[in-house]
Amino acid sequence: MSNWIYDEYKHCGVDYSSEEHAKKYDTEHQTFRDYEKEFNSMIEFLSLKNTHELEVIDLGCGTGATSVYATKQFKKVYGVDISDVMISQAKKKLSDMDISNIEFINAGFLSYEHKNEPVDLLITKAAFHHLPDFWKQIALLKMNNMIRTGGILYIHDVVFHFDAADYKEKIDNWISIFEKNAGAKFKEEVETHIRDEYSTFKWILDGMIERAGFRIENCRSNDEFITEYHCVKVKNIKI
């Protein structure tokens, strides 16, 4: 690999590379998230039918918050994450279940090479912000190659909808909501996200998605931050 390729293994923002932090991830996030409700909401948002016939890549699967539920509905699941300790946590969730339709791969947005046929759906939740914008575009092009034409790309992440001139008020208000719901410790993690990670503006991400051969079918956000994208691959772009 060329020396100028972005190092996905490099620490960015909140550090979930240690086993201790990986174990705490679900405990902290479940103070303000319902994983099963999120999964069912995603299925509805994407208007997915006959999911038992579909194959899915969960890119940036983390501790398996989505992958675990996907195994119950989809034909095949590929859980991909750059952190081996996060994957270990995901595997522990499945250890007492009789599940054989998931494969975990230790890789990232830029390093993962999908060896099988293009999938019907690619999901990335709360992970895409770890890449700077240039590398987000490259990652989207790589995702294009992983999805069949007509297949779906689902992005769930922090994306800024507000006018840049309003950034101080908008961000302060958003962080205060997390402090109220999840406590002072998680407030610090949200502050770290804003300061050290790479969430971007909606108008920028929209352009990247379209340039990577996708059509944005739907986009929704209740707070101008947490955003869901339903995109369809309309053009095959080889890289």
Which amino acid belongs to residue 100?
A: S
Distance, in Å, from the CA atom of 168 to the CA atom of 61, rounded to the nearest integer, reads 31
How does DSSP classify residue 83? -
pLDDT per residue rounded down to tens, the chain (239 residues) = 689 999 998 877 766 666 666 666 665 555 557 889 999 999 999 999 999 999 999 999 999 999 999 999 999 999 999 999 999 999 988 887 888 999 999 999 999 999 999 999 999 999 999 999 999 999 999 999 999 999 999 999 999 999 999 999 999 999 999 888 888 888 999 999 999 999 999 999 999 999 999 999 999 999 999 999 999 999 999 98
Q: Which domains does the chain have, with CATH numbers?
A: 19-159+199-233 (3.40.50.150)
CA angle at 43 for the pair 143 and 234, rounded to the nearest 5° = 35
DSSP notation for 200-225? EEHHHHHHHHHHTTEEEEEEEESSSS
Instruction: Give me the numbers of helices (H) and strands (E) for the chain, helices first please.
Output: 8, 8
**What distances in angstroms separate CA 18 from CA 63, 136, 173, one per listed residue?**
13, 25, 30
